[in-house]
Structure 1
Amino acid sequence: MHPDLPSQPYGDLTPDLTLDALEALGQGVDGRLLTLNSYENRVFQVGLQDGGFVVAKFYRPGRWSDAQILEEHAFAQELADAEVPAVPPITLTVDAALARGTASVCGTPPTLGHFGGHRLSVSPRRGGRSPELDDPEVLRWLGRFLARLHAVGARRPFVHRARLDVTQMGRAARQWLSDNEAIPLDQRSTWLSTADQALDLAQAAFDRIDGLRWRRTHGDCHPGNVLWTPEGPHFVDLDDACMAPAVQDLWMLVSGDPQERQVQLGALMDGYESVADFDWRELALIEPLRTLRLVHHSAWLARRWSDPAFPAAFPWFESGSYWGQQTGLLRQQIDLLQSGDAHGGDR
């Protein structure tokens, strides 16, 4: 494997350095530090001297530019200003006495900090639990929430962040895997040819929707990224925010057999359309988007493989059985894309 990012991106991110960074950026920490679950970035719950907590996110080096991160921050703030439940990062200040020239901030307002070669943001801690997605009322609430998020997302485009299309999220991932010889030799030709066929069909599905509307979206709206409170749902992380069709934020919230997914999707749509109109043609993109996610996920694992956290968490990745399974999943997607069984069509 030949990853395109540093092999030890967090090798020097010790607890002392983490706390020093927070102190230098104006947070009065009290020494309490809890590592939160995240493979892509490093995320910590940090105790403050006033008894409260903040969440500090140290961004993976080389993944996003400062401009892309600041666009994420601005979108979160725009959502919060529109009373859409989101948790934007707080404004940072440099404590000159503690920073000793090693810390800086950027953005307007300054929400992105630099310290010791790392970039980080700090947000208020917000609790919650996983949403009960078998409850139709919860799904309707999520639908209303996402319609409001998309209304804000449609106001203007991202300039710097990614576009979730076949070229950027599918073909680029496929090409990286091929160029970097990340696929076992005995599985290589079969997986590549199957991926090519699946991506061609996915592109054809996008092409069939004339005037498809792209907007700012959450981008990675699976149940683990939604927290539920008595006041309703909220997101605490927009790390994968991107330009995409609205359906990208809906399809990962449904699961089960086709009948169960149809019932869940109906409840989501009831909530969504009580707030905003939905282009029902986009439902034909559910299986194409699932196809892109399959290809992109394999490339994501390969690109991160030299980070010690990844072999420990995904020990099966380099095996032939993994790639054989992925080929099988892509063939299933091909069958669905060819049959048109993708929840498509007008209501």
Structure 2
Amino acid sequence: MPVVKHRPDHLPDESVRSGLSQLGIRAAELHYAAVGFGDHHWHVAAEDGTRWFATVADLENKHHCGDGPAAALAGLRAAMTTAVRLRAAGLEFVVAPFGEPVVKLGDRYALSVFPVVDGTSGDFGQTMTPDDVVLLQELLARLHTTEVEAPPCALDLPALKTDGAWSDGPYAEQARRLVNEHEGAIRARFEEFERLAEGVRRSAVVVTHGEPHPGNLIRTPAGFHLVDWDTVGLAVPERDLSVLTGDPAELTRYRELTGHEPSADALRLYRLRWQLYDLVEFVDWFRKPHTDDPDTVLAWTWFRKTLTALQVEPHDA
């Protein structure tokens, strides 16, 4: 997935201010926040004293919402509208956008604005305590048993494109060589994914978040709040549960609350899908023209970690 640590040169604060004003927010201060993956973020202090968290999506790199800026904009609007519906349905832990869920900023970018949640944010890859794992199972049980209109989640993966010319970017040749070295493991994991997907496509679906990892959780005195709803959609429960574990035996609390018996194959499928989807995006990154900036350095680190993870055989996962 695209990594974002520095702001784009062609997205000035004035564009963000203009979008905020369409929502009735007059910004007194804007501070770019170099956090997260995929989107750009600002801390906003309004003239009336309220605080907001502004997220700007790059529609040219929002492939899970749609291919191309127009489709990605439509997909993003469907996702953010679903978050609003979930919040209205009584799920207080859903951090949904304020006002119009998505405001277009030119042809490439789109803005969503969220109320600031006072609490402690987690980090992607952070290990959760057993108690926190139980709390997250309870949160997901509430989400999965809430019925609102939501977009379907595509299960199929985009094609991994490795043939043809690669760019002359600083990481292109190294990336091409690593893909070739791991060709056997990559092919085996794609074939495994297709085998597992056949069974899952016939299963019942619920509303899922998509990425309920610690980096998308905010701890508050009232419990966890869940952010980043651009991946929300209808899928089997294991889409979310796979973030917690690949072992159904560790999902006792979820099973008690929902009556659903998590599938080991579905858990494996979604853990594998995450790795393969990241691989496709990282390869696409290094095949195209790129520079040696902080985002690319971080992408290179995660690209190598993803290739290492794909070497693991199913019985070892």
Q: TM-score, normalised by structure 1?
A: 0.71
Output aligned runs, 1:121-160, within 5 Å: 121-130=112-121, 134-152=128-146, 155-158=148-151
> Residues of 2 paired with 1:42 and 1:318: CA distance?
19
Report the alpha carbon displacement of residue 190 of structure 1 after superposing the two structures with TM.
4.0
Work out whether residues 30 and 42 of structure 2, in 8 Å CA contact, stay in contact via their aligned partners in 1: no
Change (3 A) 1:26 1:302: farther
User: Which residue number in structure 1 is paired with residue 203 of structure 2?
Assistant: 212
Aligned residues: 292
Report the alpha carbon displacement of residue 217 of structure 1 after superposing the two structures with TM.
1.3
Work out whether residues 156 and 215 of structure 1, in 8 Å CA contact, stay in contact via their aligned partners in 2: no
Q: What is the CA deviation profile of residues 102-128 of structure 1, one whole-angstrom value per residue up to 9, with x for unaligned ones?
A: xxxxxxxx3221234432111111132
Report the alpha carbon displacement of residue 209 of structure 1 after superposing the two structures with TM.
5.3
Q: Secondary structure at the match of 2:182?
A: helix
> Residues of 2 paired with 1:50 and 1:17: CA distance?
20
Work out whether residues 242 and 268 of structure 2, in 8 Å CA contact, stay in contact via their aligned partners in 1: no
* Segments of 4+ moved more than 6 angstroms: 306-310
For residue 11 of structure 1, the aligned residue among 9, 12, 17 is 9
* Percent of aligned pairs with the same amino acid: 18
For residue 78 of structure 1, the aligned residue among 78, 85, 92 is 85
For residue 273 of structure 2, the aligned residue among 281, 292, 296 is 292
One-letter code of the match for 1:48? A
> Residues of 2 paired with 1:188 and 1:297: CA distance?
13
User: Which residue number in structure 2 is paired with residue 105 of structure 1?
Assistant: none
Change (3 A) 1:22 1:310: farther
Work out whether residues 42 and 58 of structure 1, in 8 Å CA contact, stay in contact via their aligned partners in 2: yes
Change (3 A) 1:197 1:233: same
Which of the two has higher C-alpha Rg?
1
> Residues of 1 paired with 2:308 and 2:28: CA distance?
51
In structure 2, runs of 5+ residues without a counterpart are: 1-5, 66-71, 167-171
> Residues of 2 paired with 1:224 and 1:207: CA distance?
30
Output aligned runs, 1:73-222, within 5 Å: 73-84=80-91, 85-91=93-99, 110-117=100-107, 118-130=109-121, 134-152=128-146, 155-158=148-151, 162-163=153-154, 165=155, 167-168=156-157, 172-174=158-160, 176-178=161-163, 181=166, 184-208=175-199, 211-222=202-213
Change (3 A) 1:41 1:180: farther
Report the alpha carbon displacement of residue 86 of structure 1 after superposing the two structures with TM.
0.5
> Residues of 1 paired with 2:233 and 2:8: CA distance?
25
Q: Secondary structure at the match of 1:127?
A: coil
Change (3 A) 1:180 1:151: farther
**Aligned-residue CA RMSD in angstroms?**
3.4
One-letter code of the match for 1:31? E
Output aligned runs, 1:215-294, within 5 Å: 215-254=206-245, 269-280=251-262, 282-294=263-275
Q: What is the CA deviation profile of residues 122-166 of structure 1, one whole-angstrom value per residue up to 9, with x for unaligned ones?
A: 1111132256965433322211110111122x555515xx41x2x
Q: TM-score, normalised by structure 2?
A: 0.77
Report the alpha carbon displacement of residue 228 of structure 1 after superposing the two structures with TM.
1.3
